[in-house]
Amino acid sequence: MSGFFERHKATLEKALDAARTRDYWSPYPEVASGKIYGETAKDDGAGAFKSRLGQAFDIAGHPSDGGTVGKEQSPYGLELGITYPKASPALLLQAAEDAARGWSRASIEARVGVCLEFLDRLNKHSFEMANAVSHTTGQAFMMAFQAGGPHAQDRGLEAVTYAYAEMARTPGSAIWTKPQGKHDPLVLEKRFRVIPRGVALVIGCATFPTWNSYPGLFASLATGNTVIVKPHPGSILPLALTVQIGREVLSEAGFDPNVLLLAADEPGSEITKDLVSDPSVRIIDFTGSNAFGDWVRENAGRNTQVYTEEAGVNSIVVASTDNFRGMCSNIAFSLSLYSGQMCTAPQNIYVPDGGIETDEGHKSFDEVADGIRISVDKLLGDPDRAAGVCGAIASDATLDRIVSAADLGPVLRPSSAIENMNDARTATPLILKLREGDSDAHHREHFGPISFVIAVSDADEGIERAASLAAKKGAITASIYATDDTILNHAADAFADAGVSLSCNLTGGVFVNQSAAFSDYHVTGANPAGNAALTDAAFVANRFRIAATRRHMAA
Amino acid sequence: MSGFFERHKATLEKALDAARTRDYWSPYPEVASGKIYGETAKDDGAGAFKSRLGQAFDIAGHPSDGGTVGKEQSPYGLELGITYPKASPALLLQAAEDAARGWSRASIEARVGVCLEFLDRLNKHSFEMANAVSHTTGQAFMMAFQAGGPHAQDRGLEAVTYAYAEMARTPGSAIWTKPQGKHDPLVLEKRFRVIPRGVALVIGCATFPTWNSYPGLFASLATGNTVIVKPHPGSILPLALTVQIGREVLSEAGFDPNVLLLAADEPGSEITKDLVSDPSVRIIDFTGSNAFGDWVRENAGRNTQVYTEEAGVNSIVVASTDNFRGMCSNIAFSLSLYSGQMCTAPQNIYVPDGGIETDEGHKSFDEVADGIRISVDKLLGDPDRAAGVCGAIASDATLDRIVSAADLGPVLRPSSAIENMNDARTATPLILKLREGDSDAHHREHFGPISFVIAVSDADEGIERAASLAAKKGAITASIYATDDTILNHAADAFADAGVSLSCNLTGGVFVNQSAAFSDYHVTGANPAGNAALTDAAFVANRFRIAATRRHMAA
């Protein structure tokens, strides 16, 4: 035994408690401070990142058919030039199967211990990870640190916690004693063991390579499966770093490091489909588009369990508010953060065409729309702050989408590049104004900083439109502003029926985009935006099965 | 509130405890005794059954397009002549959706209370159910009482228990307090609610209409889904009775009884496929053949969660024993019980061709085979006992299969009809002798009282053959006889890798066919014999999702 489980047992116990109470909790500080992470941590992380540029990323002992692969481009304009071991799906699957036995036969504690140590080491690499995430996704540094580092680690720990709870709920052995009236009882000794499904595939996305991958990665790993991590070709580095660190921990604990593998590829020669459709892959965690999600579901093996986070149309319904400024600036931040490239970012803002009541008196539809526009302008007025909030645009496709979306209706606020970020691909929020019924442009997802302020006859219509769109097209978040409890309760019912969680009257330091591990279930699994939630029992319980033996005991 | 939850809370708490310890426990006595069930219970049950013969089975308020349906035949030769409300899939699905809202919005306790009361009333109908099960499946009365009554109720209660545990693990509300350094903390009030998937379909089988249906039925019901029960056309009565009782409880508790519906049909005009392929069905529990299981998986909606118990080839490996007589009679009983028409019945018995060591000295391969044959003959020598053990054969297809199987190799023991059961379709075990390599007849399932004693070079080959067959074709049970711990441990590993639970050295009153609720996981879900286990967290956790609301609180 490596002692990892004992080392991190107190953390696990706190995590089990947090998952029950759903209060705030995290063992991984989100403040990128030298006082916490070490005075040289920031520079060390930047240095580690820079030293990888233009180099082959070496992963000790990783299978390869020879050659390297990788063509990442930084949205900030930096040439990365990093390459990764090239390995065919067949080679990866064979290596994963060869590594399986020792890992599947290990004790629950041994595997969970490895996962906890792995997360702890990831935490210590948070600054290097921040650079890696920022320069592949375009997230601003501070967001890349938090979402790519501690918050992703939180989500990984949450998955390990749920996996541990589910595995540990069955005892290792039991005595079964069945009375037989006046005869001796029947007595059996039973032993139970966790058996994994097999090889797990984790398909990462371009925008949140770690945050969206860690839950599946750690849930599959903790439950005894071997894991092949398939990063998006545009965002390999954060997951390569993850795999490298995980393999070191596995080796130290005496396991075959091929329990965790990297399936790197590059645009034009992706290997994802070959991996998905191989029947020896028994678990797939996928984050990405609905179209590819459909393909994954249709082409995965019949015994493959598929967990998805796809996309949807997130809405805000504005009915009334007792804090008009707070509402406008909260919405403005949600539209601007990482230039709307979050699966949780709102797209549709429904406002009654007769306007709303506020603490500043009645506001017409146009005044509400203008309030939001002005708040965005104010938030992004300072170029440095704009850069820190918006970051850069991850892909050319998103930039193209912003250009073409400007033709979808009257423009309330045009998108523009951010000053002083000349080498970077940037765009501030484009906001359009529409009337429900005049257009159906807002009935589908426009990924990126594209949103619509939509006139509806009243708040109830807004709720009904937003909820039915969520049920049909999916939604990961919903938000409402209302001073009236009747409307709030009605919205809570309507969005719950559509399978969306609802934020009410956010006017301060919490944003609809944010989802906190151990407290918020990210995605419900109950509409087309995804079939699973991060993280609940359903996310982990089917990644393993129980096999038993039973035999007589003397009574 | 109906008070049902409070009434049965102590039972639920004991069930939660049993699921944790996995010791023997049941609240539903398996002894068909008048002292327990009431002195007139047996006669009352028989009378209730007889009064239904030749009649339309009335289910108050059940949707119907008009007309009736149903052509059940008793394997004992009795003409049942019972008909059921005829309802099209479209009508059933509409009724289920119309009934959904009140049920999905009910509290966890209200729904679980209804389920617990429902089970309690089923228990009180155990004698009537025994007649219904016996005269549709061919099970002997005592087995029909136990497996169709208390043991099925146990499995239903187990599902309710797991569903309750999973739903109750998320609090109804939580306060989330995130420190903000020297500023006031961020404080959110969060509320969580269980939201069901939608309409659930339970597809029953011909041989165990209640035992195999109750887990899915109760798991879906407790988690807020509406349930359509689709019985096998040969075994409707037990599930019609179940639905009737359930609807009475639902009505008494103030719910729309259409939360629980019966989809009866008859041979030649089955409605199963229409129900399976309707995308509004979100959960399917299926028990039946691998071929139809494949069809269900391929044709269910993309958002439909499918749980299956299919079929496989169950094996016994005989390596050595310290109780030769006990072993032979234990195996003989397992082969004979309900004429091998159990998904848990062994088919392949692997014996080293050099024979085995026993407490009676060395026994040659033929002596082992003869020992089993003689034990079967002895067990079934008395026609009354034979009738009580074997019951009748559920379908003509099984009888045909026995006839054709006799050509598959040298017959060790011929099958025959049971004396004095002239009107019934009966057959005692057919046992063949084969050598591994000479035939592959035993590499597939032969449902019914058909088994093979197979010569292999040694015990290790037997384990390897049995385990690899289980991995490829599925298996629900495995059994081994060995006095050597090394062989037992090797077998435990091999069968666990193949996803089968293993019984060791059963020589007394426990049989490999038996699976006890709260202790044995029935089916692992880890091989082609089924994708789910009865009952674990994976069986219930994905039948519902969590939707939340969050809003600021004053700090």
Same domain, A325 and A302: no
Same domain, B292 and B328: no
**Domain CATH number, residue B199:** 3.40.605.10
Same domain, A364 and A233: no
| B226-230/B199-203 β-pairing | parallel
Q: Which of B174, B180, B533 sits opposite A546 (nearest CB)?
A: B533
Amino acid (1-letter code) at residue B311: A
Same domain, A404 and A420: yes
Same domain, A286 and A329: no
DSSP letters spanning B133-180: HHHHH---HHHHHHHHTHHHHHHHHHHHHHHHHHHHTS-SEEEEEEEE
**Token pair for residue B49?**
């059954």
Q: A134-173 burial by CB neighbour count: b if 16+ within 10 A, else e?
A: bbbbbbbbbbbbbbbbbbbbbbbbbbbbbbbbbbeebeee
Same domain, B155 and B285: yes
Give dist(CA B394, CA B234) in Å, integer: 8
**Token pair for residue A547?**
């096999």
3-state helix, strand, coil in chain B (%, to 5): 45, 20, 40
pLDDT tier, B302 (very low <50, low <70, confident <90, very high otherwise) = confident
Q: Is the pLDDT reported for residue A371 higher than 90? A: yes
Q: Is A418 within 8 Å of A390 (Cβ atoms)?
A: yes
Q: Which of B170, B495, B547 sits opposite A547 (nearest CB)?
A: B495
Same domain, A423 and A545: no
Contact across the interface for A549 and B188, Cβ inside 8 Å: no
Q: What are the C-alpha distances in Å from A62 to residues A81, A90, A280, B509?
A: 20, 14, 20, 53
Per cent of chain B over pLDDT 90 is 98
Query: Is the CB of residue A457 less than 8 Å away from at least one CB of chain B?
Result: no
Q: What is the pLDDT of residue A422?
A: 87
- Taking the CA of residue B386 and the nearest CA in chain A, the distance in Å comes to 23
Segments of B314-466 assigned E as strands: 315-318, 348-352, 356-358, 361-363, 411-413, 430-435, 450-456
Q: What is the mean pLDDT of residues A456-479?
A: 98
Give dist(CA A84, CA A64) in Å, integer: 10
**Token pair for residue A142?**
């501070």
Q: What is the mean pLDDT of residues B25-30?
A: 98
Minimal Cα distance from A493: which residue of B?
B105
| A-interface mutation test, from B188, B286, B506, most A Cβ less than 10 A away | B188
Minimal Cα distance from A543: which residue of B?
B538
Query: Is the CB of residue B299 less than 8 Å away from at least one CB of chain A?
Result: no
- Taking the CA of residue B48 and the nearest CA in chain A, the distance in Å comes to 30
- Taking the CA of residue A527 and the nearest CA in chain B, the distance in Å comes to 9
Task: For residue A121, tell me if it sits in a domain.
Answer: yes
Same domain, B202 and B348: no
A331-364 per-position pLDDT tens digit = 999 999 999 999 999 999 999 999 999 999 999 9
Q: Is B206 within 8 Å of B222 (Cβ atoms)?
A: no
A396-410 per-position pLDDT tens digit = 999 999 999 999 999
Task: For residue B523, tell me if it sits in a domain.
Answer: no
Q: Which of A531, A538, A545 sits opposite B541 (nearest CB)?
A: A538
Give dist(CA B518, CA B54) in Å, integer: 39
Q: What is the mean pLDDT of residues B313-330?
A: 98
Q: Is the pLDDT reported for residue A429 higher than 90? A: yes
B50-101 per-position pLDDT tens digit = 999 999 999 999 999 999 999 999 999 998 999 999 999 999 999 999 999 9
pTM for this one? Answer: 0.97
Same domain, A363 and A219: no
CA A278, A280, A281, A283: dihedral to nearest 10 degrees? 140
Which ranges in B380-502 belong to alpha helices (H)? Answer: 383-390, 396-405, 459-473, 485-497
**Token pair for residue B545?**
């999702």
Q: What is the mean pLDDT of residues A147-166?
A: 98
Among A264, A240, A335, A275, CA closest to A49 = A240
User: How many whole angstroms from its chain centre is CA B529?
Assistant: 13
Residues 481-500 of chain A whose Cβ lies under 8 A from any Cβ of chain B: 488, 492-493, 495-497, 499-500
Q: What's the mean pLDDT when you consider all of chain B?
A: 97
Task: For residue B526, tell me if it sits in a domain.
Answer: no
Q: What is the pLDDT of residue B377?
A: 98
Among A352, A370, A373, CA closest to A484 = A352
Q: Is B545 within 8 Å of B197 (Cβ atoms)?
A: yes
Q: What is the pLDDT of residue B1?
A: 54
Q: What is the pLDDT of residue B553?
A: 84
Task: For residue B519, tell me if it sits in a domain.
Answer: no
B153-166 per-position pLDDT tens digit = 999 999 999 999 99
| Angle subtended by helix axes A108-124 and A4-21, to nearest 10 | 80
**Token pair for residue B313?**
């080839």
Give dist(CA A296, CA A282) in Å, integer: 13
pLDDT tier, A247 (very low <50, low <70, confident <90, very high otherwise) = very high
Q: What is the pLDDT of residue A1?
A: 54
Q: Is A412 within 8 Å of A332 (Cβ atoms)?
A: no
pLDDT tier, B35 (very low <50, low <70, confident <90, very high otherwise) = very high
Q: A348-370 burial by CB neighbour count: b if 16+ within 10 A, else e?
A: bbbbbeebbebeeeebebebbbb
Contact across the interface for A171 and B22, Cβ inside 8 Å: yes
Among A391, A414, A292, CA closest to A342 = A391
Helix, strand or coil, per DSSP, at residue A542:
coil
Residues 153-192 of chain A whose Cβ lies under 8 A from any Cβ of chain B: 166, 169-171, 174-180, 186, 188, 190-192
Per cent of chain A over pLDDT 90 is 98
| B-interface mutation test, from A542, A543, A544, most B Cβ less than 10 A away | A542
User: How many whole angstroms from its chain centre is CA A393?
Assistant: 18
pLDDT tier, A553 (very low <50, low <70, confident <90, very high otherwise) = confident
| A-interface mutation test, from B151, B479, B545, B553, most A Cβ less than 10 A away | B545
Host H or E run for residue A14: helix A4-21
| A-interface mutation test, from B302, B484, B550, B553, most A Cβ less than 10 A away | B550
Q: Is the pLDDT reported for residue B554 higher than 70? A: no
Query: Any idea which residue has 């099209």 for tokens?
Result: B88
Same domain, B290 and B403: no
Host H or E run for residue A9: helix A4-21
Q: What is the pLDDT of residue B493?
A: 97
Q: Is A219 within 8 Å of A111 (Cβ atoms)?
A: no
A56-107 per-position pLDDT tens digit = 999 999 999 999 999 999 999 998 999 999 999 999 999 999 999 999 999 9
Q: Is the pLDDT reported for residue A555 higher than 60? A: no
Q: What is the mean pLDDT of residues B167-187?
A: 95
B351-368 per-position pLDDT tens digit = 999 999 999 999 999 999
Other Cβ atoms within 10 Å of B396 Cβ, number:
11
**Token pair for residue A376?**
């965005």
Minimal Cα distance from B494: which residue of A?
A547
Q: Is the pLDDT reported for residue B555 higher than 90? A: no
**Token pair for residue B450?**
């058909």
Which ranges in A346-394 belong to alpha helices (H)? Answer: 365-379, 383-390
Give dist(CA B500, CA B115) in Å, integer: 31
Number of domains chain B is built from? 2
Give dist(CA B197, CA A532) in Å, integer: 12
Q: Is the pLDDT reported for residue A290 higher than 70? A: yes
Segments of A49-144 assigned E as strands: 68-69, 84-85
Chain B hits for A473, CB-CB cut-off 8 Å, are: none
Task: For residue A460, tell me if it sits in a domain.
Answer: yes
User: How many whole angstroms from its chain centre is CA B221?
Assistant: 17
A492-545 per-position pLDDT tens digit = 999 999 999 999 999 999 999 999 999 999 999 999 999 999 999 999 999 999
Same domain, B141 and B288: yes
Q: What is the pLDDT of residue B422?
A: 87
Q: What is the pLDDT of residue A22?
A: 98
Q: What are the C-alpha distances in Å from B67 to residues B57, B71, B78, B84, B286?
A: 12, 14, 24, 9, 27
Task: For residue B129, tell me if it sits in a domain.
Answer: yes
Query: A139 CB contacts (<8 Å, ≥6 apart)?
Result: A133, A147, A148, A207, A338, A391
Q: Is the pLDDT reported for residue B460 higher than 60? A: yes
Let me know if B555 is exposed, middle or buried by CB neighbors in 10 A (0-12, 13-18, 19+). exposed
Task: For residue B98, tell me if it sits in a domain.
Answer: yes
Query: Any idea which residue has 């033709």 for tokens?
Result: A407
Query: Any idea which residue has 């997360």 for tokens?
Result: A119
Q: What is the pLDDT of residue B418?
A: 97
Query: Is the CB of residue A35 less than 8 Å away from at least one CB of chain B?
Result: no
Domain that holds residue A100: 4-310+532-549
Q: What is the mean pLDDT of residues A258-275?
A: 97
Same domain, A238 and A335: no
- Taking the CA of residue A126 and the nearest CA in chain B, the distance in Å comes to 21
Q: What is the pLDDT of residue A141?
A: 98
User: How many whole angstroms from its chain centre is CA B458?
Assistant: 34
**Domain CATH number, residue B493:** 3.40.309.10
Q: Is the pLDDT reported for residue B245 higher than 80? A: yes
Please tell me whether the peptide bond between A507 and the residue prior to it is cis, using omega within 30 degrees of 0.
no
Contact across the interface for A171 and B21, Cβ inside 8 Å: yes
Q: Which residues pair with B68 in a beta bridge?
A: B85
Task: For residue B450, tell me if it sits in a domain.
Answer: yes
Other Cβ atoms within 10 Å of B14 Cβ, number:
16
